Amino acid sequence: MTSIEAVREHADLRASAAAFAGDRYTGLAGDWDREQTMLSGEERLALARTGFLGMGLPEEYGGGGATLVESLIVIEEIAKVSQIPAFAVFEANTGPARVVELFGTEEQKQRWLPRIIEGTATMAVAISEPHAGSAATDITTRGVIADGKVVINGQKRWTSGAGHAELYLVYLRLSDERGARSIGAVVVESDAPGLTFGNQERLMGFHGIGSADIFLDDVTVPVEDVLIPAGGFKDLFSTFSIERLGNATMSLAIGQACLDRSAAYVQERHQFGKPIAEFQLVQEALADMVIQVDAARLLIRRAAEGAGRGTPAPLEASIAKCFANEMAKKVSDLALQVHGGYGYAEEYGIERMVRDSHGWALGGGTPAIQRTRIVAEYLGRSFDQRR
């Protein structure tokens, strides 16, 4: 495909995703946020029918075989209207399902990917623990392998979709070695005996995406469900980079939606006898929003184009995530200010985006962690954060 054809196809894809999201979610987004409504099974099936849900997963399992750029376009357009359905597309195309695709055995892919693509299962990722957040290799959840089975004990925290998803990609220690060398991952079904969930957390944003503690009490799974054996953790950074671009795109959607709404508002809203867009200080705010959103878009695009259907360069992904997360906080804050009291009130939906913008900066490696990654990649060395 020539680059011109690609641009045209991307424009068509963007328009199609935007039309679908606009028609289906515009009237629901505010209510879902207020009521903290999780995406229903029916809505997930509707997403699957469009082909968006598994578009970035391989065609042989029912997916669309799309590039990362294409998946991110769809995630952005849906997230601009509502982050709740966009989260399902994010999980399937840039989250744990990609780990299954890139690291799973053929048998594992056959078992899990079609369910995700058809919209009958969501796979959530369980890494963080009460005492292992940014320091992910501090996790203590343990899996003991014996007699063809893995017996898992531990507690997970900040698992988005916990209690709602059907499948959990649980990171855990599979041997006694210290640090990353013993860390692997196992897939656990939601109805596995011994798997229980804490109360749904009430978060600042991410209403309807949800988060809860996960308790694993002698949860037993067949050894065939080990997706990443001990020591495979270091290879996972490549898939973390995919997820970071998905995360960055959710932030981009917030920034772009805030910019779009602000651009319309400053031309509609009249004060002192003219549209407020005529005032220099409003122009300055809007110009900053345009610059920030455009820069984030280009950084994400650069990293995603380099990935094709594979994985992005970690440096580019970290730069994009760090910038986009901070952009969304700044731009949504500017949108609130430009909208005045209406930005502060629920009705206009700007305050929802302000609240959501903070979540993306906390999940998937904070901007502070990304900065450490950026310097490490840039200087070609690692920094021990424990000394």
Partner 1 sequence: MTAGTGLAAADELALREYVRNWIGEHLTPEFFPAALARLDTDERVEVRRRWERELLDGELLASSWPVEHGGQGLEPWQEVVIEEELGLAGAPDLINLIGFRLAGPVLLDVGRDEQKEHFLPRILSGDDIWCQGFSEPGAGSDLASLQASAVDHGDHYVVNGQKVWTSWAMHAQKCLLLARTDRDVPKHQGITAFAVDMDTPGIDVRPVRQITGESEFCEVFFDGVAVPRDRIIGVPGQGWEIARLTLLYERGSNFVYLAGVERTFRGLVARLRARPEPPAGDVITRLVAAQVELAALQATARSYLDRLTAGTADPTEASLIKLGWTELDVAIKDLALEVAGTAAVVRAPGAEPSAELHEMLASRAETIYGGTSEIQRNLIAERLLGLPKGG
Residues that bind partner 1 (CB under 8 A): 34, 133, 158, 199-205, 211, 270-273, 276, 278-282, 285, 333, 336-337, 340-341, 343-347, 351, 354-355, 358-359, 362, 368
Nearer to partner 1, 174 or 334 (CB): 334
The H or E element that residue 83 is part of is helix 83-94
State how far the Cα of 82 lies from the Cα of 251, in Å rounded to an integer.
12
Per the CB < 8 A criterion, the answer to whether 186 and 227 are in contact is yes
Least distance in angstroms from the C-beta of 28 to partner 1: 17
Nearer to partner 1, 141 or 211 (CB): 211
Structure tokens at 343: 């930005």
Nearer to partner 1, 2 or 280 (CB): 280
Least distance in angstroms from the C-beta of 268 to partner 1: 11
State how far the Cα of 125 lies from the Cα of 187, in Å rounded to an integer.
9
The H or E element that residue 216 is part of is strand 211-222
Nearer to partner 1, 200 or 220 (CB): 200
Nearer to partner 1, 204 or 298 (CB): 204
Least distance in angstroms from the C-beta of 113 to partner 1: 31
Nearer to partner 1, 72 or 319 (CB): 319
Least distance in angstroms from the C-beta of 82 to partner 1: 18
State how far the Cα of 38 lies from the Cα of 21, in Å rounded to an integer.
16
State how far the Cα of 136 lies from the Cα of 125, in Å rounded to an integer.
13
Q: Is 107 helix (H, G, I), strand (E, B) or coil?
A: helix
Per the CB < 8 A criterion, the answer to whether 382 and 151 are in contact is no
Per the CB < 8 A criterion, the answer to whether 245 and 321 are in contact is yes
**Most distant CA pair in the chain: distance in Å?**
79
E strands in 229-298: 270-271, 274-275
Least distance in angstroms from the C-beta of 277 to partner 1: 10
Least distance in angstroms from the C-beta of 329 to partner 1: 8
Least distance in angstroms from the C-beta of 130 to partner 1: 10
Nearer to partner 1, 97 or 369 (CB): 369
61-92: b (≥16 Cβ within 10 Å) or e: bbbbebbbbbbbbbbbbbbbbbbbbbbbbbbb
Nearer to partner 1, 241 or 357 (CB): 357
Least distance in angstroms from the C-beta of 336 to partner 1: 6
Nearer to partner 1, 166 or 326 (CB): 326
Least distance in angstroms from the C-beta of 200 to partner 1: 7
Residue 147 buriedness (CB in 10 A; 0-12 / 13-18 / 19+): exposed
Residue 360 buriedness (CB in 10 A; 0-12 / 13-18 / 19+): buried
State how far the Cα of 260 lies from the Cα of 326, in Å rounded to an integer.
18
Least distance in angstroms from the C-beta of 307 to partner 1: 28
State how far the Cα of 79 lies from the Cα of 87, in Å rounded to an integer.
8
Nearer to partner 1, 3 or 199 (CB): 199
E strands in 101-173: 123-126, 142-146, 149-160, 167-173
